[in-house]
Structure formats: structure tokens, C-alpha cells
Chains A and B, each alone.
Chain A
Amino acid sequence: MYTWIHKFGSPKHFYRIAGKVIPWTAAITVILFLYGLYGALITSPPDYQQGESARIMYIHVPAAWMSMFVYMILAVAGAIGLIWRIKIADVMAQASAPLGASFTVLALATGSLWGKPMWGTWWAWDARLTSELILLFLYLGYMGLTTAIEDKRTAARAGAILALVGVVNIPIIHYSVDWWNTLHQGATVTKFDKPSIHIDMLIPLLVMAVAFKLYYFTVVLVRARADVLFNERRSAWARDIVAKVKL
């Protein structure tokens, strides 16, 4: 395992392996999105209380899950970069930030679009919504901080520390619906007993969630791969690759 990490942590192998992985994850992402959308928009039943507006769930919930998942990647990769000085980890963290911020925007915006017809308001200063908004500010702060600092190593360290401090917000988002009285409904999928959601809604929801996750991995690898090539531009393997590229 450790040697595997080191091998994958070497920029040259990362570049090569990522290049092989990307077409596959991209293809599977497209297939899952098509299947997931078919389920979300056509075969799944309307909700017995919320009617057709519940179809927003198939975007909103995966986006919200991803907003937290990508933040954990940011924090864990940041910690790996801080402790073991593995440069790929810093590259992955920084390539993840714009995607994580986008998922957060999507979760907030679709939440608004769902809240308006169901709760009668676009926004409420409620625990779940507010903690998710703080998540967006953490992402934006991270992106601002890492791009503002010229020195790459210092930028990565500052970003990692910010990301790690912000981790405290993740359990707050998750448990906010239990800890406080909120407008937002409680957990329906991640419950220890049976999820309280119909199987015809659960399957497209999970397919969409996996599609979002693979989409993230595909795009983050495209970005990280380019950054790795730039960082390693002085090494022989990177120069070989650049010499062969045709644009």
C-alpha cells in the first residue's frame, strides 16, 4: 500500500495513470447521468406530499453530498501535503476547490428553487442553510488564499490549514437538522434503520450521486494532470511529453 502510494505520488506515474483513467471515468459518468436522469425525470414517481417538485432532489441531494465530500478531500489532501509533503496531494486539493465551490452553489441554489414552492421562501437563516453557506465561504476563502500567495509551497500550507480548521463545519452541516429546529427536512437516506424513501426514488438518487462523484474525479484529474505537468516542466519526462504534444 505504502509503495503504491509512493508510486502514485510520483508525478510521472500520476500523469500517466490519470491519463489512462480519465477516458473510462468520463464514459461511465455519461452513462450513469443518462440512466440517472431517465430515472429522475421519467420513471420515478412524484412525491405524495411535494408532487413533481421533489424531482429537484435528484440534483440537490447529490450536489449537497458532493459539497461535503469534496471538502473532506480538500482537508485530507491538505493534511497529507502538510505531513508527508506529497506534492500531488496539494495539486489535488487545489484542483478540487473550484469543483467543491460549484457543488455548494448548486446545492444552495437548487435548495432555494425547492424552498420557494415548498416552504414559501427562497432563503431562511436556518442551521442547515447557514452552515452550507459557510461551507461556500470556506471554499471561496481557500481559493482566494491559495491564489493570492505567490510561493506554491506556502500557498498549499496556508490552504491546508484553512481547510483543516473548516472541517469542524462538516459535522455541523450533517447534524444541523437533528441539533436545531430547522425548516430543512431530516435525513432520509443516511439513517441506521431503513431509509425512509421509496426504492423507485432511492435508485435514481444513488445513481445520480455516483454520477456526480465520477464527474468530479474525471474533471479534477484533468485539472490536476495539467498542473502536475506544469510543476514538473523542468524534468526530462515532462519535457518529452511537451515535445510530443500537438495542439
Chain B
Amino acid sequence: MGGYGLYVWSSYALALVLLLGNLVAARVHRKKILQDLISRLRREKSS
């Protein structure tokens, strides 16, 4: 990378971290909502 390796690879690494992080956060968000809704439905049925 012609002496710029640290700057170039840090940029690509940060992009990877942010993009994967957002993807994981969205999936966790979805999973939490589903778990919440499932337990709400169960509580309704049992009461």
C-alpha cells in the first residue's frame, strides 16, 4: 500500500465494523421484538 497501509486498512476495517455492526443490531432488534410479541401472545392465551 505504498506506506499508506495503516490509513487504508483502518478505513476498510472501520467500514466493515460499522456495516456488520448495523446489520447485527438490526437482526437483534428484530429478534427482541419477536420474542416480546411471542411472550405477549402466550400471556394472553394463558390468562
Interface residues of A (CB under 8 A from B): 41, 46, 51-53, 55-56, 59-60, 63, 98-99, 102, 105-106, 109-110, 113-114, 116-117, 215, 218-220, 222-223, 225-227, 229-230, 233, 238-239, 242-243, 245, 247
A55 is contacted by which of B8, B21, B22 (Cβ under 8 Å)? Answer: B8
A-B contact pairs, 22 of them (CB 8 A): A41-B12, A51-B4, A53-B1, A53-B4, A56-B7, A59-B11, A98-B22, A102-B18, A102-B19, A102-B21, A106-B18, A109-B14, A113-B7, A113-B14, A117-B4, A215-B19, A222-B27, A226-B26, A238-B37, A242-B41, A245-B37, A247-B31
CA distance A226 to B8 in the complex (A): 36
CA distance A102 to B22 in the complex (A): 8
Beyond A110-B14, A243-B41, whether A52 also contacts B8 by CB under 8 A is yes
Measured CA separation A218–B12 after assembly (Å): 20
* Contact between A59 and B12, CB atoms less than 8 A apart: yes
A63 lies within 8 A of B15 (CB): yes
Q: Does more than half of chain A's interface fall in helix, strand or loop, or is it mixed?
A: helix
Which chain A residue shows the least CB distance to B7? A113
A-side contacts of B19, CB under 8 Å: 102, 215
Residues of B within 8 A of A (CB): 1-5, 7-8, 10-12, 14-15, 18-19, 21-23, 25-27, 29-31, 33-38, 40-41
A11 CA to B30 CA, complexed, in Å: 16
Minimum CB–CB distance from B36 to chain A (whole Å) comes to 7
Q: How far is the CB of A225 from chain B (nearest CB, A)?
A: 7
B interface, by DSSP: helix, strand, loop or mixed? helix
Rounded to whole Å, the gap between the CB of B4 and the closest CB of chain A is 4
Q: Which residues of A contact B3 (CB under 8 A)?
A: 51-52
